[in-house]
Amino acid sequence: MKRVEVKLDLTNVAPLLDVLKSASDALSTRLALPLEVSALDADSLEQWNADLIESQNEDIAALLKLFNRDFFSEEVVAFDEDNADAVIRACSALKLYLFREYLSDLSEEDFETNEVIFDVLTENQQKPYLTFMFLDTLQKVIMRHLNDLVVDD
C-alpha cells in the first residue's frame, strides 16, 4: 500500500488546530456548501442534507485523527488509500467554511495567485487564513503524491 508521510512543524501547525477544531464543531450540524438543488422536493432535501452532513462529519473526523498523540511526538501525518479521499474532502469542507466565515472579502484572484498580503488581514482573519492555506497545501500534497490512489485509471 502506497503511503506518504508529511513532516510538519509543530510550532507552526499547533496554533491552527484550535481553528480546525472550532470549524469542525461549527460544521457538525450544517453543510460547508449549503444544499441548493431546486429540483429536489422538501423530503429529499431533508434526507440529502442529513446524509451529506453525516458524510462531511466522517471526513472531518478522518482529518482530525491525523493530529493525534503521535503527531505531537513525531510531527508527522500519514496518508494512504484508506484516508486520502476523506482527508482531501475534509480539507475542502473546512476551506469553504473558513472562506465563508472569515475571508469572503478577499478576491478569487488573491487565492489563485497566493498573493494575499498577510498584513492587510484583520486580526480575526489571520489565523483562519493561515489555516485555510495549511489545508490547501495539505490537499495539494495528497493530490500530488497519491494521485494514482485517488484516480483509478
Q: Which residues here bind other proteins, judged by CB under 8 A?
A: 31-33, 35-40, 48, 51-52, 55-56, 88-89, 92-93, 95-96, 99, 108, 111, 136, 139-140, 143, 147, 150-152
Identify which of residues 25 and 74 has a Cβ nearer to other proteins in the complex: 25
Question: Which triple of cell numbers denotes residue 7?
Answer: 513532516
For residue 120, give the DSSP letter. G
Q: How far is the CB of 49 from other proteins (least distance, A)?
A: 10
Nearest partner of 23 among 95, 72, 129, judged by Cα: 95
Distance CA 93, CA 31 (A): 8
Identify which of residues 39 and 120 has a Cβ nearer to other proteins in the complex: 39
Identify which of residues 43 and 108 has a Cβ nearer to other proteins in the complex: 108
Q: Provide the total of helices (H) and of strands (E) in the chain, helices listed first.
A: 7, 2
Q: Is the torsion defined by CA of 30, 32, 36, 41 positive or negative?
A: negative
Q: How far is Cα of residue 34 from the mean position of the Cα atoms in its chain?
A: 16
Q: How far is the CB of 118 from other proteins (least distance, A)?
A: 19
Identify which of residues 61 and 76 has a Cβ nearer to other proteins in the complex: 61
Output the furthest CA–CA distance in the chain (Å, rounded): 50
Q: How far is the CB of 124 from other proteins (least distance, A)?
A: 19
Q: How far is the CB of 65 from other proteins (least distance, A)?
A: 19
